[in-house]
Amino acid sequence: MIDINTRKQSTQKIRQAKMSEVGPEEFAKKKKVKKVCAVDFSDNTVLEMLEKYYGCDVTCSKYGTEFCDDKDMVFLFEDFDNEAFNNFISVSPASSVLGAAIVKIRRRHELPDATTSLLITTQAKGKAFRQFVALGQSVVLPSWLLECWEHRNDEAFTPLSENMITKHRIGVFENLRVFVHGFSQAEEEDIKKHIADNRGFIVDSSSKATHCVVNALRDLDNLGFSPGQRFVTNEWVWTSINIQYCANEDTYSVERSKAGQSLSDHIHDKSSFSITDRVSSEGNIAKTAKLSRSHQVCIEIYETDVSYVNALKLLLEVKHGLEQAAESGCPLMQKSEIALIFGKISPIIKVHEAIISRLKQILDNWKSDVEVAQTWIDAHDDLNRVYVPYSNTYDTAGEKLNWADRTNPRLHAFIRAKECKSNFKRNTLQDLLIRPVQRMPTLIVLLKADSVRIDDATVVGDEEEVGRANEVRAQNDNFIEQLNFFNEVEDVPICKVRVLPNSGTVGRLDRRTSFSNMMTSKKQ
């Protein structure tokens, strides 16, 4: 039985003796232990720690009293309540002593942090997997552990390096069995290809699947069902590929018995961007059973313009997502490409928001003699300023987006994930990009519908905007065609600066006459 009072008395004796010998200040200073005398000590593990990890010179002794005169010596005891310790302090109460427990505790604190920061698994599912993904921790395959073992004797090897984690990172759909149902053939093939490219397995029956990717607009009652299966939308596929981890199925889940209700937000007509309800709720516009023709046309122009601006704002959301990816160090597109495709959207939105504000004022205070056309006449210069540059680069931007979509799987997944969202209302990104090109011709049709009241100058002005934009595009197309032809002419060198002549002489080329020979004869 341990006598607590005896232990306290022994400790106090040691402290008092040390302080009387060296003084309180010197006693409080930390002392680096270099030499240790283990008195009547039998725990070899502690002795190995002192020698191997702390570089101490360890000496074993039965009593330890023969080293009392060495001031650098620290005496190690297994316990402070035994005969060896009591005999020692009675002879040398001022000597530095150390307990075995403090050595073990100190070593434990210096060991690597045992906090779990890595998950090793063979499947991209399960509770632990979901927790690690949610916390932003790494998930790797067992191959990571095998390679670590191969380099166990390599001191320079870093198991948690970015290269090691990336090399053994678990696939997006690692060992998941996926069944795809209810999509068009092209869309189904696209989904299957990208699942297989990310280590998932495509199965031909829902009963064999861990995940069923379904179109909730179709009847799902005839699908086989197994316990633990997850029914998800195609947005789950594209979002997972985009974030490079299997996304949480709960966010994209489809209840089989209520499939039509669970995705009711996704059921929209592709051409529908109408906000008739918003017109009445926001503007409190009183719609009577009988409206004049001019009033109806003004309402339709207002609704289509609000719908149009909402569509353009979706493009800005895509642009913002691409810019965030670029800033995070994982770019999906170059910043120059983002600017080319989406950079001219904001000015168009600002101009139309001003027009919408004016139209709303007109509708809120409708008068039979109001001049709706004046809104477009006042915005003529601004419309010209924002639409010509967009039309000028639309073809190039569209081609650049198509090329990037075909060649970059992550960008493809990013775009498809955006298009699956309910606010896109089944429109594609290309559908939205062409809206500015189509807007002015649509507006002309609406204005002509009220041609009795609308000033011809307004329609002519809008038609001029369309014509000017088309003219600029035609000029650019001709210029590009000339440059392409210039590149194909024989013996014409490629250089940074090129001058196209205003006039030239046309000569006949045949099998016996080359371009260089003709130019030589011309000089002569």
Q: Is residue 443 part of a domain?
A: yes
Residues 93 and 150 in one domain: no
Residues 317 and 364 in one domain: yes
pLDDT band, very low/low/confident/very high, at 475 (cuts 50, 70, 90): low
491 pLDDT exceeds 60? no
CA distance 310 to 91: 91
More confident residue, 24 or 112: 112
Residues 203 and 163 in one domain: no
**Mean pLDDT (the chain, rounded):** 78
Q: Is residue 365 part of a domain?
A: yes
Residues 299 and 414 in one domain: yes
Distances from the Cα of 412 to the Cα of 75, 146, 419, angstroms:
70, 34, 11
More confident residue, 169 or 373: 169
Question: Are 472 and 479 in contact, with CB atoms under 8 Å apart?
Answer: no
pLDDT at residue 479, as a whole number: 47
Handedness of CA 395, 399, 404, 406 (dihedral sign): positive
Q: Is residue 485 part of a domain?
A: no
Residues 164 and 181 in one domain: no
CA distance 451 to 263: 43
Domain end (from 252, 272, 303): 252
Q: 47 lies in which domain range?
A: 31-107
Residues 370 and 443 in one domain: yes
Residues 333 and 391 in one domain: yes
pLDDT at residue 24, as a whole number: 47
Domain end (from 451, 486, 510): 451
pLDDT band, very low/low/confident/very high, at 13 (cuts 50, 70, 90): low
pLDDT at residue 11, as a whole number: 53
Q: Is residue 415 part of a domain?
A: yes
Q: Is residue 444 part of a domain?
A: yes
pLDDT band, very low/low/confident/very high, at 369 (cuts 50, 70, 90): confident
The SS3 of residue 80 is coil
CATH number at residue 224: 3.40.50.10190
The torsion angles phi and psi of 202, rounded to 5 degrees, stand at -90, 130
Residues 297 and 195 in one domain: no
Which has the closest alpha carbon to 88: 159, 10, 170, 145?
10
User: How many separate domains does the chain show?
Assistant: 4
Handedness of CA 80, 83, 88, 90 (dihedral sign): positive
More confident residue, 498 or 403: 403
pLDDT at residue 122, as a whole number: 94
Mean pLDDT, to the nearest integer, of 265-272?
A: 41
Residues 79 and 198 in one domain: no
Residues 184 and 161 in one domain: no
Domain end (from 427, 451, 475): 451
* pLDDT tens column, 224-237: 777 788 999 999 99
pLDDT at residue 214, as a whole number: 92
* pLDDT tens column, 195-228: 999 999 999 988 899 999 998 777 676 777 777 8
Q: Is residue 102 part of a domain?
A: yes
CATH number at residue 376: 1.20.900.10
Residues 340 and 445 in one domain: yes
CA distance 50 to 36: 8
Strands (E), 48-192: 57-61, 73-77, 96-99, 118-120, 138-140, 177-181
Q: Is residue 520 part of a domain?
A: no
Residues 86 and 124 in one domain: no
Highest mean pLDDT among 43-52, 170-179, 216-225: 170-179
Q: Is residue 399 part of a domain?
A: yes
